[in-house]
Amino acid sequence: MRLSADQICHPAVIAHRGASGYLPEHTLAAKALAHEQGADFLEQDVVATRDRRLIVCHDLTLERVTDVASAYPGRARADGRYYAIDFDWDEIASLQVVLDPPAHQGPLRDDMRISTFEDELEAIRGWNRDAGREAGVYPEIKEPRWHAEHGIDLTKSVLGVLHDFGYRDASSKAFVQCFDATALRRCREELDSALRLIQLIAKDADPFHLTPAGLAAISGYASGIGLNYRRLFDAGATGRIVASPVVEWVREAGLLLHPYTFSRDGLPDYAEDLEGLLELVFERIRPDGVFCDYPDVAVKLRRRFGRGPPSKQYY
């Protein structure tokens, strides 16, 4: 799987959990719609089951997105949560997706269930072939330390599956993301992965990460960072919203900038709607990619407000 100059637009549109603004997150239905809408990358959050299968699910637990509580009563831990790692794959495969929020209400289909990581990559391969264009993959290694405490090397397993599907080096149309810097360094140093890595920056992360020195350190093992889009702007002396100095520091460190997550919910005071927010970011920040719940909106606005040639790190 190789990139060519006509396969990536700038900024890249990353379908956040698929077209999750329209269909239940991380279902194959949501991923297929995102592919149809022109997303450049489809995101996968990857966690493990008890029998060591990798599944695409944002949470370590299942109750928010499935009917696990009614299907398997009594299987919760003491905290009342139903952890994927306490279930075998065949049990999880039988679960129904919970159609929530109300905008997602509609008939359940077979492609509205949790899928394995391998099944999703196989589906993307088929969509790419049928459409004659290649949407890339963007897996997140979820809570690798937590998985290690349960005897599963999630980092190694995710990289192994990607390798099996042909995503093997920096020319592959893939990014691997994680909040855990130790896991990303291990990808590079111990597991010898040449894939492009994205350091996610959490809301409560050490402030050092977003200093010139911290970003320079990240550039030693990662290709870019993912951070909340609210960190892109500051209130200037006159109260006008201006680009945060972090944006320039990211550029100086030679890192890609992939802010998250653009949606219609929880908009900041300086944006009336999602379209206005994306326009502001495309014009003033010029990110290398954006995570969006509505890929079609980002694709449409990119045609109007995208700037400059794609970063050489995309090729």
Q: What pLDDT, in 10s, does the model give residues 52-103?
A: 999 999 999 999 999 999 999 999 999 999 999 999 999 999 999 987 655 5
pLDDT at residue 311 is higher than 70: no
Question: Considering the chain, what is the average pLDDT of its residues?
Answer: 92
pLDDT at residue 314 is higher than 90: no
Average pLDDT over residues 108-131: 93
Cα–Cα distances in Å, from 135 out to 24, 172, 206?
20, 11, 33
Concerning whether 35 is annotated as a catalytic residue, the answer is: no
Q: Give the pLDDT confidence score for residue 262 in this predicted structure.
A: 98
pLDDT at residue 256 is higher than 60: yes
Catalytic hit among 10, 26, 35, 58: 58
Report the DSSP pairing between strands 54-56 and 41-48: antiparallel
Cα 52 to the chain's mean position, in Å?
22
Convert the pLDDT of each residue in 223-251 to its tens digit.
999 999 999 999 766 668 899 999 999 99
Residue type at position 242: V
Cα–Cα distances in Å, from 102 out to 138, 181, 213, 234?
27, 37, 45, 34
- Short-list 281, 285, 215, 221, CA closest to 253: 215
Concerning whether 58 is annotated as a catalytic residue, the answer is: yes
The class of domain 12-60+114-314 in CATH terms is alpha beta
Q: Count CB atoms within 10 A of the CB of residue 306.
A: 16
Where are the chain's structural domains? 12-60+114-314
Catalytic hit among 10, 16, 147, 209: 16
Residue holding tokens 């391969």?
Answer: 125
